Amino acid sequence: MNDLQTRIHIQRAYKLLDASDPFNADIEARKALKVSPRNPDVLRVLGSIAAMKNDLAEAASYFKKTIALRPREPILQWELARVRSSQGQLDEAIACYEKALKLSPGFHRAITGKAQVLEVRGEYDEARAVLQPFIDEGTESSGMAVVYIRIEQHDGEYEAGIERAARHLADPEVDPVAKVHLYRLQARAYERLGRYDAAFAAYEQSNQSMAVPFRRKEYRERIDALIATFSAQNMPQLKRSRIRSERPIFIACMPRSGSTLVEQIVQSHPKAYGAGEITTLERIVATLQESIESFQTYPACVADLTETHLDRLAKSYLDALRRLDRTATRVTNKNLGNYQQLAMIELLFPEARVIHIHRDPMDNCFSCFIAALSPAQAPFTADLAQMGFAYREYQRLMEHWHEVLSIPILDVSYEALVAEPEPWIRKIIDFCGLEWDDRCLHFHESGRDVITLSYDQVRRPIYKTAIKRYEKYDEFLGPLRAALAGEDAADAT
């Protein structure tokens, strides 16, 4: 009976993962964990859930436990390698891929992963050499093609990449994830060749390949609830944690606003650590009602928070930071949902600092549209009108936070940072309460690996090519412009 229950919960968890719903998947998987705490299938699905939530340390822990129980399965080494790569632990990722290949020499996904890590490190010749035998034989997988096209684009071979992508996209059984990236790589190549109509069409196809429903009515209601709960009248009445710590630094912004750039600047300081898009705060909020045994859902349940509750939750967050780094006096969190959690941040950490990055709305929204962001994290980015709607809601919430919060918020204009880096970098470091260090001006030389959509950018000094990029596509952006102007008011479900 226990085995049957376990299998049912695991199947439900994977279905929820396929629907980009990691939080409900986690609930199902933990039901299985209670029944079968040492079942490797349970540990594996928990690792996959943690990876989707970007809780990479937890994901690595689950995959390592699974490998200990099933050391001969190459797929598990591959899954751990992907997590290590996302953590920026590229040497460890390579080692895991090589272990997978030792167990299964022809394992395409491990070959692809190894080549991708080499490409991320800028070792283009080595990455090409890993893939070349399959390219020459015409047996490359669609995932291999994605990495190889990136290498071709680095070498200026745009037409070849367009043709290679088209061949794989013509395959009705092309891998769905690779399909998204193949369209996006085609779009980048068309853009480099000045063929903006073809580029925009490819970006649209990339988004359509991964689109999930975005319920704008629910999104607006969530913002309404945050504003009503954390109102100017309510904020003074809510309890605060008694734990005082200046260690947490929160970066809040829409996706593609420059959060990776700002985190790289801060973590180039020897007393700072960049934790990336950690989900610890997100998980605290998601489980708050259950954690404090409230009859109200979030955010209304914050009225039931006591100082003891807040102390416990704040300590759990600081403990998570300590597991990531024990020595840094400042640790950044750039989770994409931080802008919705600023009031909770104040309740948990009255001495926390928030760096809010804002960017030209047209540039910001267009950058999201072409970036192939995770639907689980940003479901609104696949459609221009939905993107504009979400951006207006973000602006509305940030205006409210500025009116009601007491914690310090540094507003950083992406355009100003790019135009005059040094004064803004000095201002950011000073705001974090750190003494000046010249290494912060040379953040791109820090030697720390970064694996985000911006990985090819943070290896370079600050650049200005992303500013006004949308203007090349202006004729296609009418729906975005209308939504940003508030002219697209329909409530889609």
Interval 409-447: pLDDT, tens: 999 999 999 999 999 999 999 999 999 999 999 988 765
Looking at residue 459, its amino acid is R
Do residues 273 and 149 both lie within one domain?
A: no
pLDDT at 460: 56
Range of the domain at 163: 2-210
> pTM, whole model, 2 decimals?
0.88
- Within a 10 A sphere around the Cβ of 68, how many other Cβ atoms? 11
Do residues 453 and 404 both lie within one domain?
A: yes
Give the C-alpha separation, 189 to 152, whole Å. Answer: 10
Interval 15-63: pLDDT, tens: 999 887 888 899 999 999 998 999 999 999 999 999 988 788 899 999 9
Do residues 163 and 283 both lie within one domain?
A: no
Residue showing tokens 């355009």? 415
Is residue 151 in a domain? yes
Report which of 411, 448, 441, 410 is spatially closest to residue 426, judged by C-alpha positions: 441
Residues of the chain with pLDDT under 50: 453-454, 491-493
First-last CA distance in the chain: 40
The number of folded domains in the chain is 2
Residue 358: enclosing H or E segment and its boundaries? strand 353-358
pLDDT at 374: 80
Using CA atoms, how far residue 93 sits from 65, 112, 117, 324, 446, in Å, is: 17, 12, 8, 18, 20
- Residue 335: give its domain's CATH number: 3.40.50.300
Interval 167-209: pLDDT, tens: 999 999 999 999 999 999 999 999 999 999 999 999 999 999 9
Give the C-alpha separation, 405 to 398, whole Å. Answer: 10
Query: Given 180, 210, 240, which residue is the final one in a domain?
Result: 210
pLDDT at 493: 45
Do residues 169 and 85 both lie within one domain?
A: yes
Do residues 383 and 245 both lie within one domain?
A: yes
pLDDT at 451: 52
Query: Given 153, 179, 210, which residue is the final one in a domain?
Result: 210
3-class SS letters over 113-128: HHHHHHHHCCCHHHHH
